[in-house]
Amino acid sequence: MAAESKEQLSLRQRNRRIARSTLTVMVAFAAAKLISLVQTLIIAQVFGVGSDLDAYVAANRIPELIVILISGGALTHAFIPIFSGLLAKGDLDAAWKLSSNLINAIFSLALLLSLAVFVLAPWLVSHVVAPGFDAATALTTVDMMRILLLSTVIFAVSGIFSGILNSHQHFLLPALAPIMFDIGILAGVLFLLPRFGVHGIAWGAVLGAALHFSIQLPGLVRYRMRWRFELGLSNPLLWRVIRLMLPRIGGLGVFSLNFLVMNNIASRLGVGSVSALDWGWRLMQIPQTLLGTAMGIVIFPTLAALSEMDDLAGKRNAMSGALRFILISSIPSAIGLIVLGRPLISLLERGAFDSSASALVYSTLSMFTLGLIVHSALEVIARSFYADKDTLTPLFAALGGALINFVAAFLLSDVRAIDANALLNSAADAFPALGLRREIGNVSGLALANSLGVMFEVLALLVILRRRWQGIGERQLSRTLAKTLAASLVMAAVIALIDMIWLALAPGRGLSFTIMRLALEGVVGLLVFLLVAILLKMKEISELWAIIKPV
């Protein structure tokens, strides 16, 4: 009994640490998103969803792809399990040697790839990224792509810094790094945009990358990082990381290829389509980053350590708990974003961002939001495989999801997608307050295709993980899913009722009334969700409060 009590205490302490670390990361990410929102408002006012913003979005695709593949998720998911294992064993010399070798190798690779893209930029833009652009927009895209390659080289090293600090269970500075990146872009928007036009955003991104790098240096000094000027090609641990990286690179490559294909198609659908696709994705990413990414970052080192100790029950409990947190937060967020998305986007309507741009962005956002839950869940589920040093299975699942995405993207981006359009408009007729009447065809069809592909990926991984881990706490997950969905639907109905009353009493009253409308509906919706959750006896609510409340 004493041993069981000690085990329960240890579990509670671990859950408290995970919850508080997640909260820290969420707060930092929220600050970053707030800064990003300010720059978004300015960009929307100046460019709307026009050709200049199309050029910036397209220019960022290849540099972003390089970062994601060699220094983003691929590297950290392969590096953290091995680096954390060395730290757990107390082998600091091997740990710092590995990190130094990796930094030098990744920097060299990023530099070579960036130089190649710099030379090939005109061909890449006209044949791969945006073949539908006119000559002037294509030239602007090439110029900005070359500027953004500078940030690629910086991020190559900065991404490894984040992995090192996360392995030490230090999440604050890596969480602050995106804030610094957004501050850099904001500086570009405020001070460089008037002088350099849309190119000022690109230079702001370079500044942001430098700040992202610099903010993490104090943490490395604290943990006494030792850097060596050597590639270490004879280091077997380096090659082990590389071998683990390769399947993950393939998986992320598939994910990025999805967006390249969508970008390619969107460039053919008219001016503003590329921007609308990016707007919808960025807005959906706000709750997805705060919920899914934050939880995934925090839970990963714990899963890796439990896997190293062959603690199957511990892994299962940790993953299931993280997934239940994502369900109780992402489901109401998704439904709330669909219900409140139209008036929320209307806040951007000024300058070049008019009501037609708002409608186009909302149609894309609503389709991306259908995938918010699975995008968030994927952050934890995929990391469960990476913690077991299995990067192949997520790759195969991603390939299956990509196939669905590709086929659906070509079908649903067609303006003749009448059946899907009719289905959505039927729902709009039944629930006019939700504002669902939109064209499914064109760019919003690309967003729906993405959601369908990720949905398949998540379901496939869950089936495999359940068999491999002898269960995933599916009964608890099913109860949480059903109760959360019920509470969220009640919340949506109440918000819709308030919205109808509001529009009847105060139609078209301007910006201040829209803000008041959103605040009222958001607060009431949250309270209704919590009340229904308590009535349904959702123990996750009380458990979460018990974990995060002050001792």
pLDDT tens per residue across span 214-233: 999 998 888 888 787 887 78
What pLDDT does 438 receive?
43
Contacts with 295 (C-beta within 8 Å, 6 or more apart), sequence order: 22, 322, 325, 326, 376, 379, 380
pLDDT for 485-536, tens place per residue? 999 999 999 999 998 888 887 766 677 788 888 888 889 999 999 999 889 8
318 near 306, Cβ under 8 Å? yes
The CA-atom distances, in angstroms, between 509 and each of 59, 273, 345, 434 are 39, 30, 16, 19
Tokens of 49: 């969803």
pLDDT for 408-427, tens place per residue? 888 877 644 434 444 445 54
* Spatial separation of the C-alpha atoms in residues 246 and 226, rounded to whole Å: 26
Contacts with 501 (C-beta within 8 Å, 6 or more apart), sequence order: none
490 near 532, Cβ under 8 Å? yes
* Spatial separation of the C-alpha atoms in residues 269 and 445, rounded to whole Å: 11
What pLDDT does 139 receive?
93
Residue 256 has pLDDT above 90, yes or no: no
Map out the domains of the chain as residue ranges.
31-249
Separation of CA 59 from chain center: 19
pLDDT for 2-47, tens place per residue? 444 555 555 556 666 666 666 777 777 777 777 777 777 777 677 6
Reported as half-sphere exposure (CB side, CA atoms, 13 A), residue 289 has a value of 19
Q: What is the dihedral of CA 155, 158, 160, 166, to 10 degrees?
A: -130
The pLDDT-based confidence of 441 (bands split at 50, 70, 90) is very low
Share of the chain above pLDDT 70, in %: 83
- Selection from 121, 135, 111, 136 nearest residue 59 by Cα: 121
* Spatial separation of the C-alpha atoms in residues 485 and 332, rounded to whole Å: 8
pTM value?
Answer: 0.70
Residue 350's SS3 state is strand
* Spatial separation of the C-alpha atoms in residues 339 and 521, rounded to whole Å: 10
pLDDT for 263-287, tens place per residue? 778 777 777 777 788 888 888 888 8
Ramachandran bin of 460, using left for φ above 0, alpha for ψ from -120 to 50, beta for the remaining angles: alpha
What pLDDT does 202 receive?
92
